[in-house]
Amino acid sequence: MNKIKILANDGMDAQCKVTLEQNGFEIEMQNVPQANLAQAINDNNYEVISVRSASTVRKELIDACPNLKVIVRGGVGMDNIDVEYARSKGLTVYNTPASSSHSVAELVFAHLFGMVRFVYQSNRDMPVSGDKEFGKLKKKYSGGKELKGKTIGIIGIGRIGQDVAKIALGCGMKVIAHDAFVPDVNLELDIDGINPKPVITIKTISLDELLMQSDFISVHVPGGNVIGAAEIAKMKPGVCIVNTARGGVIDEMELLKALDAKHITHAALDVFENEPAPKSELLHHPNISLTPHIGASTKEAQERIGDEIAQLVIAHFKSN
């Protein structure tokens, strides 16, 4: 019996590869450029393609590869895959929505702490003038704030939003949330040594209420245009906003205007409309904390993603 061949075009966790190989699969991890992907899949008879965010699996690729049976997205969002079209053609499409939630949530707070204590700005200035103007920089960055006691508004209270809420509660923040599809959530808090685990219920509110009440806003929706000029106008003066969800969820030009007007004090962006070439104005703005789409890029998350991919693929071919 021929081995089922898998193209892991955007890489794969090492243990995932081992697990799949031990279960009779053949794995290729050599990245194929997008333009050559269809030919590579057909020439090598790959039945499974595994991608992250770099490769796309669109209608044209699906139509060009009749032997392709399974598409796996290592991560949450599947906006780089024509999911419904693939399923209409009989392909199975999987993702790994639970595996990277905590990693993304921790990045949100890396940005939040960096903003309220000017860490990212200080790290820009200290190498340039820290040895000559230490006292001046100390004065410049001494007006920090604490997160404790502040209100964080979470737009989208799915897995990632819930993990953000749990960390926020641990920091002593008030948590409010908006979600068009969820009336309330029960958060089970994982506190070492505490059993049974305490459960806190958060009832969602309207987007307008959230915008008007929040000191900090973190966005966790799969896409769409959620924050534009009208929404920014409803925010409290001095608000800080974080986007680790999808580029375009926040109108970047309106964000820049609000930052320049000091209506928004700080922003943090891990995702951008024009990846992999974000707008220069964003990259050079002094009040934007920046990371290059690394929300799920922790060792632990990649191990969990790899384990979930392996189990999904093994189970699929055992049952078919």
Q: Which residues are catalytic?
A: 246, 275, 293
* Residues 6+ positions from 134 with CB-CB distance below 8 Å: none
Neighbours of 207 (CB within 10 A): 17
Q: Residues 243, 155: contact at Cβ < 8 Å? A: no
Residues 167 and 86: their CA atoms lie apart, in Å, by 37
First-to-last C-alpha distance (Å) of the chain: 15
